Amino acid sequence: MSAGFIGYDLVRVLQLRTRVITAIEALRGVTSTDDAAADASTTARGVRANLEGPCLALLDRIIASDALLTWLSSFGGFDTLAPALTPAQATDAHRLAALARAVIGDDGHDGDELAALHQALGVASLTPRVLVGMFIALGGENTAALLVRLGEPSDDEDEQIAIATSVRSALATASRQHRFPGDFGAVLVDGFIDRLDDEFANPAAAMSFLFTNEAFGAELLAVTTRRVVEHERAAYPDGAGQVLWLPAYGSVLNRTFGDGDEHTAPGWMLSEDPMYAVLDALSRNGEAGRAVFTDDVHARYLLTERLYHYDGLHAVTAAAATAAAGPDVVPGAAEAVLVDASKVASAFVNFLGVRPYLFDQPLHPDASTAAATILGVHLFSVHNAVLSPEPMDAPAGKTIAIPDKFRTGPAPHGAFLDEAALDTVSNLAVRRDDGLATVRAALDVFQQQRAAVVAALLAEGAVVRDSDVNEAMVNAARLEAYFIERAGHQAEAIGRDKDEVISFFVDTATFGLGQINRKVGGVPVLSNVLSGAAGAAKEQLAGYEADAAREAEQYARAAADQLLYVWYRELHAAGIIDPDLPASALAGGLLVDWERYRQLPDDVRQTVEATLRESHGLPISTGAVIDAIKVAQLPTYQDLE
């Protein structure tokens, strides 16, 4: 620190420097060639020299000292900026913050202040580092206050919206590239809450605006979301958190929100409850979503308790889907990401599955797709839960080790899915066509991969029991059947033709690389619980009415045919079976894919199927596969009698 200083306020020092520069520029304009003005010109030059000399030099010595950076560091988190702000950057940051404070001021908007802030935010040379400095200098509470103020009515609404957009963009950019002090997001939310009762203020719209259409850094977004949840839970433990935000006034910023549609309320109405915008922002950031949904308290609140009247669960399910099954949840991702994604999948199923009156409210079609996407990416865990159903004592998000007969080494971990909750969420997943197609695509990939794993083991000469192979095929059929059954039920529940829906589900199988080509937690797992599936199925069938069985049979046979073909194709590709097959069924020495196969003439397909069944030498029970699928459908048809 420079010698001779007793004390100073650095923000005011920076503002003083700005004013000195303004005065110097004003004096520079006082020139004249008139002899009568000679004395005045001399005085102006002298005063300017004084300002530029000792006064400005003194100010610059303070700013250039390490005192400013030390002071900034005292906010916490600033030391993560490497290197820290240069004095010039710190000056810019504080100049921006000072302008923002002037806009927030209680004296009403001054057009010059708005214009100055707008102009300053638009300077191309502003770096994210300077922007972080500005927001730190301004503080979370004042950042909220600025946005709230910019939403209040005035004669400069266009300018206000433009500035608010710049502020939003600046905060998002800065949060993506630098860490903010740990409590910035929480204080930001507190700032909005503190203004709920202000005259002409609409903090809900301001906060909704902030989190609309921008991608925020994961840390800031997660901290913000958790704080919103904490405030809402404290105020309305029954889940009616939206009441906390109900605005008494309109907002200029409402002009920026879009129209609604048949499933979602218009933007100005959604903006009455900023949770929609916050969740929407989470749906663009899986890392932030995982930081929120892996906490059971927050997951329970958001998925089980919190009421959403305006969007049919679109935002919350989209946020969870990105966290559990977003584009960064892929094979090869960091172990921590996959584990957290599995926890979110578990939380999604277990908490949403016990949500009261889930199907008694209008649901957005995308909620079905989101559920299907999560189940699809975590089909490994779903498969385990279907074959080894297990209730959970109390809903939670957790992972479990899932044993796998066809895998060496430690058992991979997957999502623990409560039996009843999985039933509910599976019904949600297949409730709409997009969800149904998503599940179908995921099953295609899953079944093909599992067949390939078993075929590869056999090809390598691994010791694999015949009964295990047969069981694997039957279990694959059980998984198909699990979703076929629910598709039929849901079709009836929403007034559609069950046959049409089941037919769609069965007939759209491609067993190629579909929309979802991911799995979490390693290879598909086979249950050791089921044994003699065929026998059990036949016993169950014996009690059912013939008509129902006949209707179920039709789809069971179709589903079984394609499932078996997938398995035979993988066994053939691995060289386990090598019969003489019609040339039209082969491509490059391999059996054609299912799409092409199903288009072959009936007689060719019958020949291929008969040849494959006779040649494999494995005790695969076609009847057991068909029965496994049929049994699951029977309740659907019997319920409808």
Partner 1 sequence: MPSDSTADEYRQRAAHLRRLAARLDDVPLADVESWAGPDTWRSPGADDCRQQLATDRQRIAHAADDLRQRAWMFERQADAVDAAAATLLAFQAR
Residues 6+ apart with CB under 8 A from 403: 411, 525, 528
Residues 6+ apart with CB under 8 A from 34: none
**CB 9, min distance to partner 1, A:** 6
Please give the distance of CA 92 from its chain centroid, rounded to a whole number: 35
102 lies in the binding site for partner 1 (CB under 8 A): no
Binding partner 1 (rule: CB under 8 A), the pick from 1, 43, 258, 539 is 43
Question: Which of 51-59, 119-127, 169-177, 426-434 is the region at the interface with partner 1 (rule: CB under 8 A)?
Answer: 51-59
Cα angle 586, 588, 593; round to 5: 50
Q: Which two tokens stand for residue 272?
A: 């009455």
29 lies in the binding site for partner 1 (CB under 8 A): yes
Residue 600 identity: L
**CB 107, min distance to partner 1, A:** 16
497 lies in the binding site for partner 1 (CB under 8 A): no
Closest CA to 179 of 82, 84, 78: 78
**CB 64, min distance to partner 1, A:** 14
Closest CA to 207 of 286, 148, 281: 148
Nearer CB in complex with partner 1: 22/119: 22
Distance CA 555, CA 411 (A): 34
Q: Which two tokens stand for residue 473?
A: 């095929």
Question: Which of 5-13, 307-315, 379-387, 413-421 is the region at the interface with partner 1 (rule: CB under 8 A)?
Answer: 5-13
* CB environment 509-536: b (16+ within 10 A), e (fewer): bbbeebebbbbbbbbbbbbeebeebbeb
19 lies in the binding site for partner 1 (CB under 8 A): yes
229 lies in the binding site for partner 1 (CB under 8 A): no
Residue 608 identity: V
**CB 58, min distance to partner 1, A:** 5
Closest CA to 564 of 552, 582, 549, 577: 577
* Cβ atoms within 10 Å, residue 631: 24
Nearer CB in complex with partner 1: 44/148: 44
Structural contact between residues 597 and 585, judged by C-beta atoms closer than 8 angstroms: yes
Binding partner 1 (rule: CB under 8 A), the pick from 26, 123, 401, 493 is 26
Nearer CB in complex with partner 1: 37/529: 37
445 lies in the binding site for partner 1 (CB under 8 A): no
603 lies in the binding site for partner 1 (CB under 8 A): no
Distance CA 104, CA 98 (A): 10
55 lies in the binding site for partner 1 (CB under 8 A): yes
Nearer CB in complex with partner 1: 31/80: 31
Residues 6+ apart with CB under 8 A from 310: 264, 265, 269, 270, 273, 276
116 lies in the binding site for partner 1 (CB under 8 A): no
Residues 6+ apart with CB under 8 A from 2: 61, 62, 65, 67
269 lies in the binding site for partner 1 (CB under 8 A): no
**CB 134, min distance to partner 1, A:** 20
1 lies in the binding site for partner 1 (CB under 8 A): no
Residues 6+ apart with CB under 8 A from 282: 221, 225, 288, 289, 292, 319, 322, 323
Q: Which two tokens stand for residue 1?
A: 């620190």
**CB 25, min distance to partner 1, A:** 9
4 lies in the binding site for partner 1 (CB under 8 A): yes
359 lies in the binding site for partner 1 (CB under 8 A): no
Residue 469 identity: V
- The CA distances from residue 135 to 140, 171, 463, 581, 601, in Å, are 7, 7, 64, 71, 69
112 lies in the binding site for partner 1 (CB under 8 A): no
Binding partner 1 (rule: CB under 8 A), the pick from 7, 108, 332, 588 is 7
Nearer CB in complex with partner 1: 87/266: 87
Question: Which of 38-46, 172-180, 188-196, 524-532 is the region at the interface with partner 1 (rule: CB under 8 A)?
Answer: 38-46
36 lies in the binding site for partner 1 (CB under 8 A): yes
Nearer CB in complex with partner 1: 3/334: 3
Structural contact between residues 299 and 227, judged by C-beta atoms closer than 8 angstroms: no
58 lies in the binding site for partner 1 (CB under 8 A): yes
Residue 518 identity: R
12 lies in the binding site for partner 1 (CB under 8 A): yes
44 lies in the binding site for partner 1 (CB under 8 A): yes
Nearer CB in complex with partner 1: 34/460: 34
64 lies in the binding site for partner 1 (CB under 8 A): no
**CB 12, min distance to partner 1, A:** 4
Structural contact between residues 608 and 590, judged by C-beta atoms closer than 8 angstroms: no
Distance CA 206, CA 58 (A): 41
**CB 234, min distance to partner 1, A:** 38
Structural contact between residues 579 and 614, judged by C-beta atoms closer than 8 angstroms: yes
Distance CA 613, CA 621 (A): 9
9 lies in the binding site for partner 1 (CB under 8 A): yes
Distance CA 473, CA 478 (A): 9
**CB 99, min distance to partner 1, A:** 15
**CB 260, min distance to partner 1, A:** 50
16 lies in the binding site for partner 1 (CB under 8 A): yes
> Where along the sequence are the contacts to partner 1 (CB under 8 A)?
4-9, 12-13, 15-16, 19-20, 22-23, 26-27, 29-30, 32, 34, 36-37, 39-40, 43-44, 46-47, 50-51, 54-55, 58, 62
